[in-house]
Amino acid sequence: MPLLEVSRVHTFYGNIEALKGVSIEVEEGEIVTLIGSNGAGKSTMLRSISGPTPPREGSIRFDAKEIGETPPQDIVQLGISHAPEGRHCFPRMTARENLDLGAYLRKDADGVERDLERVYELFPRLKEREKQKAGTMSGGEQQMLAIGRALMAQPKLLLLDEPGMGLAPILVERIYETIDEINRQGTTILLVEQNANFALDVARRGYVLETGTVALTDTSDSLRQNPDVQRAYLGT
């Protein structure tokens, strides 16, 4: 049974249908990517899974439990963390305070401390910036902080929305190296990224979304070889 199973989901913003019967699956231990152009429904899919924009129709099952109508804070406790598009760090709080907020619902102080050290090992720059206000940090540092904050909730499934957005290519490479390491350490990842080259490098499988529907799904290697994907998303 998949760790995450999204079945025939319809999600709306008011009267606008953003997801039109989308179905995806993520197996435990995988990195799966959603690629597509702006407005395709990628971010809406993550928001439907994590709870801020719940689906109007369809089913979302996580770890064999239906979560389609579950409040976001309860979804976090079940084991899903979301690092949203645009980072959304708390600018007047320090890096350490942002990380502490990621563990707000946890009661295991020893485990929280271990995960804090894990985040600092993954992102040594955050240790250096521990007492710096997040709003004064660079875009790359804020992206590290957003991912680190999500990891502090000890997720089974990590949702990453455009982790490379607005960053220089060298920083994007570093971020994706760390995403690969997070997965090797045992965290399943569902990744949204417009830069399909980076996403397909780390993902095992991918879904191509077009105007709220799944247009194509295949292994990352096969998607790389698909002429339509090459023309539309890989710049070849």
d(CA 124, CA 182): 14
Q: Do 121 and 197 sit in the same domain of this protein? A: no
Tell me if 84 is assigned to some domain. no
Q: How far apart are CA 168 and CA 67, in angstroms?
A: 36
Same domain? For 175 and 197 the reply is yes
pTM of this structure: 0.94
Is residue 135 domain-shared with residue 190, that is, in the same domain?
Answer: no
How many helices and strands in the chain, by DSSP H and E? 10, 10
Return the pLDDT at 86.
80
How many domains does the chain contain in total? 2
Report yes or no on 36 lying in a domain: yes
114: in domain: yes
d(CA 67, CA 58): 11
Whether 143 contacts 135, CB under 8 Å: no
12 and 66 share one domain: yes
CATH of residue 65: 3.40.50.300
- Domain containing 48 equals 1-79+155-236
Q: Which of 154, 170, 195 is the last residue of a domain?
A: 154
Domain check: are 43 and 102 in the same one?
no
pLDDT at position 207 is 97
Do 70 and 129 belong together in one domain?
Answer: no
Indicate if 52 and 9 belong to the same structural domain: yes
All residues at 6 or more sequence positions from 129 whose CB lies less than 8 Å from its CB, including other chains: 95, 137, 141
- 10-residue mean pLDDT profile of the chain (236 residues): values are 96 97 98 94 97 97 96 96 90 96 92 96 96 95 96 97 88 93 97 90 96 96 94 80
Last residue of a domain, one of 101, 122, 154: 154
Do residues 221 and 235 both lie within one domain?
A: yes
Co-location of 70 and 181 in the same domain? yes
Same domain, 148 and 174: no
User: 35: part of which helix (H) or strand (E)?
Assistant: strand 31-35
Of the residues 108, 137, 154, the one at which a domain ends: 154
22 with 53, same domain? yes
- Nearest residue to 18 (alpha-carbon basis) of 60, 67, 53: 53
Query: What is the structure's pLDDT at 118?
Result: 97
Residue 31 pLDDT: 98
Same domain (yes/no): 73, 167: yes
28 within domain boundaries: yes
Query: Is 108 contained in some domain?
Result: yes
Strands 80-83 vs 157-161: parallel, antiparallel or unpaired = parallel
